């Protein structure tokens, strides 16, 4: 496998993981907001030290960063 194919495969995986990070982070935020605003489910317990949203905002930021990197690779290549 050539270096160009390896980089393209890496960019594709980075794009896939960016979508996954955005979906998980967004899902956590929606779940927390639902439990805080609409109805508190018995499974929900707010972690006292981490904060209300926990790691979800960081996952969204990482997902946006990875997505921009993957898109910039494919825009440069004109694939």
Range of the domain at 36: 8-77
Residue 34 covered by a domain:
yes
Task: Please give the Cα distance from 34 to 43 (Å, whole number).
Answer: 12
- The tens digit of pLDDT for each residue in 6-34 reads 989 999 999 999 999 999 999 999 988 88
> What is the band of 77 on the pLDDT scale with cuts at 50, 70, 90?
low
CB 34 within 8 A of CB 52: no
Residue 48 covered by a domain:
yes
Q: Which stretches of 1-79 are DSSP H helices?
A: 3-33, 56-77
Q: Is 40 helix (H, G, I), strand (E, B) or coil?
A: coil
Residue 32 covered by a domain:
yes
């Amino acid at each position: 496998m050539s270096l160009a194919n390896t980089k393209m495969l890496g960019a594709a995986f980075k794009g896939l993981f960016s979508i996954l990070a955005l979906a998980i982070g967004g899902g956590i935020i929606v779940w927390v907001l639902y439990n805080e605003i609409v109805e508190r489910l018995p499974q929900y317990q707010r972690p006292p030290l981490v904060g209300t949203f926990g790691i979800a905002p960081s996952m969204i930021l990482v997902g946006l960063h990875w997505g921009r990197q993957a898109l910039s690779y494919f825009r440069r290549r004109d694939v």
